[in-house]
Amino acid sequence: MLVADNLVKKFGNVAAVNGISLSLKPQEVLGFLGPNGSGKTTTMRMLTGFMNPTSGSVTMDGIALADNPIAVKSQLGYLPEGAPLYLDMTVLDFLKFCGEIRGLHGAYLRERLDISIGLLQIEEVLGKRIEALSKGFKRRVGFAQAILHDPAILILDEPTDGLDPNQKFHVRQMIKQLSATKAILISTHLLEEVGAVCSRAMIIARGKLVASGTPLELCKLSPHYHAVLATAAPSVLKLLRSAFVGNPLVTGVEEVRVNNKLTAIRLLNHQPAELLAAVNQAARAQNWVFESLLLEQDVLDDVFRRVTGGDGRHA
């Protein structure tokens, strides 16, 4: 288990990371979310031993990174931001180098090479120089390097950033597959990633933890979670609005406008099932036609904006 306790990193007088603590357990995929520049990469650099924290500590299974960096680093697989690689090497030479410098050799090295190469599906580019590879293949090679030594912990800094949708899907599938045996920390600013792969997520802003929990728990932080969202013609929406303002089930009404045209009404509430039934009943009685009527589920972007100050309240 990887534990970070109260990590602080200051550059001059500016604290890029200001008191982040986390623990990463086996078979867990922890999403590390935050706007660009919020301290995700700096935190990961401290977790992997690349940077020393100004204060705070990192331990793995009770061993402090500061006391025994080599023992801790040998159990970590790391994909740095942008997946930097030695461009002048061929894929196979690069992976062999990574294995050998980690002390793998002989039959075990060959076995681990076969497994990693197979998992990342990079057989066809093994003899190519890395500089000639596409972005997607480069990322896969970086990934292969990170899992080559079968580490207990994987730390992946924005593993899907800049990939096309197919490549993103493939990487996420792989993260899920690997999570069966490993503890994985991934940083991202893509919210869809959290629902897709993470069992738990932490949101940081300005170097501090601002929210954490399972994706569902995080969604519940938004008043939009399980709001009734009705999309219809403006005339219908106005009728809906006047009918439900003041209804005891409704705690708030928000208008959704696109190009200043009213396109939807959001009814905030604490009893979604009852409210949805009431809206349906009113629609039948009044012959309202909705383009869609649904309970909002995927509201992480709203949570993200609220807790990171992206809604202007903290700006």
Partner 1 sequence: MLNRQKFLSAIGNFFADPVFVLIRRELNAYFANALAYVFLIIFLALAGTMTFTIGSFFERRLADLQPFFQFHPWLYLLLMPALTMRLWAEERKLGTHELLLTLPINLSTAVAGKFLAAWLFAGIALLLSLPLWFTVNYLGHPDNGVILVSYLSSWLLAGVMLAMGSAMSALTKNQVIAFILGVFLSFLFIASGSPIVLGFLQSWAPAWALHGLANLSLLDRYDQMTQGVIGLDSLLYFALLIYLFLQATIVIIHLKKTA
Per DSSP, 197 falls in state H
Q: Which residues 11-30 are close enough to bind partner 1 by CB under 8 A?
A: 11
CB of 315 to partner 1, least distance (A): 28
Least CB distance to partner 1 at residue 82 (A): 6
When binding is defined by CB under 8 A, the residue of 21, 23, 67, 87 that contacts partner 1 is: 87
Side-chain half-sphere exposure of 89, counting CA atoms within 13 A: 14
Q: Which of 73, 206, 208, 305 binds partner 1 (CB under 8 A)?
A: 73
Which residue, 86 or 169, is less far from partner 1 as judged by CB?
86
Beta sheet of 2-11, edge-to-edge order? 14-24, 2-11, 55-60, 63-64
| C-alpha closest to that of 16 among 40, 32, 48 | 40
Residue (47 or 174) nearer to partner 1, CB: 47
What is the pattern of x (binds partner 1, CB under 8 A) and - over residues 28-67? -----------------x--xxxxx---------------
Q: Give the residue, chosen from 103, 118, 234, 252, that forms a contact with partner 1 under the rule CB under 8 A.
A: 103
> 245: burial class by Cβ within 10 Å (0-12, 13-18, 19+)?
exposed
Q: How many beta carbons lie within 10 A of that of residue 139, not counting itself?
A: 25
Q: Which of 20, 33, 98, 120 binds partner 1 (CB under 8 A)?
A: 98
Residue 80 interacts with partner 1 (CB under 8 A)?
yes
Query: 3-state DSSP call for residue 8?
Result: strand
Q: Which of 59, 116, 145, 179 binds partner 1 (CB under 8 A)?
A: 145
Quick check: helix, strand or coil at residue 253?
strand
Burial class of residue 134, CB neighbours in 10 A (0-12, 13-18, 19+): exposed
Residues in the site for partner 1, rule: CB under 8 A? 11, 45, 48-52, 69-71, 73-74, 76, 78, 80-82, 84-89, 93, 97-98, 100-103, 105, 129, 145
